[in-house]
Amino acid sequence: FCTTAWAKAADTAPWRYAGPSGPENWGELKSEYGLCKSGKEQSPIDIQNAMKYPFEPVSFSYHPNKVSVLNNGHTIQVSAPDSGSVSLPTGAFSLVQIHFHAPAEEKIEGRTYPLGAHLVHRNDAGELAIVALMFEEGAHNTALEPIFAAMPRKAGGRATLGSANIADLLPVNHNAYAFMGSLTKPPCTEGVRWNVLTTAVQLSPAQLEAFRAIYPMNARPVQPLNSRSVVVGH
């Protein structure tokens, strides 16, 4: 089901980021969305008091490839099949797509970032691993430029970029907070391996406003940590 949920070009299910079909009611909209209400390992979270642990930073093996930029009605999504993979302690996960949230869904020690990117990966068993990247306002982001220039304003719109290297979006430091969580949209499927990069990258105020002009707010509120632990490499 995870595969299907991420592969659909546009999700026509009746959920939104505000109003009667907003996050607080996702679990009531459809029986398949029950985990949005009852799940105990839901994402996003406010990352607090992470335990230091001697594990390696996330290892990225991305390469340039043709990608498509889609407005799926909930976010801007960059489909990037055959663009590389990440290596985690549990094995290799292939990059499937990237999408953006304003503001970033994860918080770090209570801090909210104006934009976040989720880099979604899947392994041969169909398990998901998501790497989250925080953006803060500052310098113009040249790696983001072609993606944001291609953003379709209307839901269902799609554009193709001849070549993009997703690695260019990443900070030099690949250290990350790691924890188990869920998809941050319905059906809120759990069992997702999360790695939130500790180092943010910058984008210009104009770039941030370009995204907000399409999606002013598309973030799920933070969820209870419950009994989970969060570890960070050192």
Active site residues: 74
167 — phi, psi (to 5°)?
-60, -25
Number of Cβ within 10 Å of residue 215's Cβ equals 18
Structure tokens at 193: 């391996």
Name the CA dihedral angle for 6, 11, 15, 17, rounded to a multiple of 10 degrees. Answer: 70
Residue 47 burial (10 A CB sphere; 0-12, 13-18, 19+): buried
Structure tokens at 198: 């500790």
Q: What Å distances lie between residue 206 and 148, 179, 210, 217, CA to CA?
A: 11, 33, 6, 16
d(C-alpha 19, C-alpha 208), whole Å: 24
Sequence-separated (6 or more) residues with CB below 8 Å from residue 125: none
d(C-alpha 123, C-alpha 127), whole Å: 6
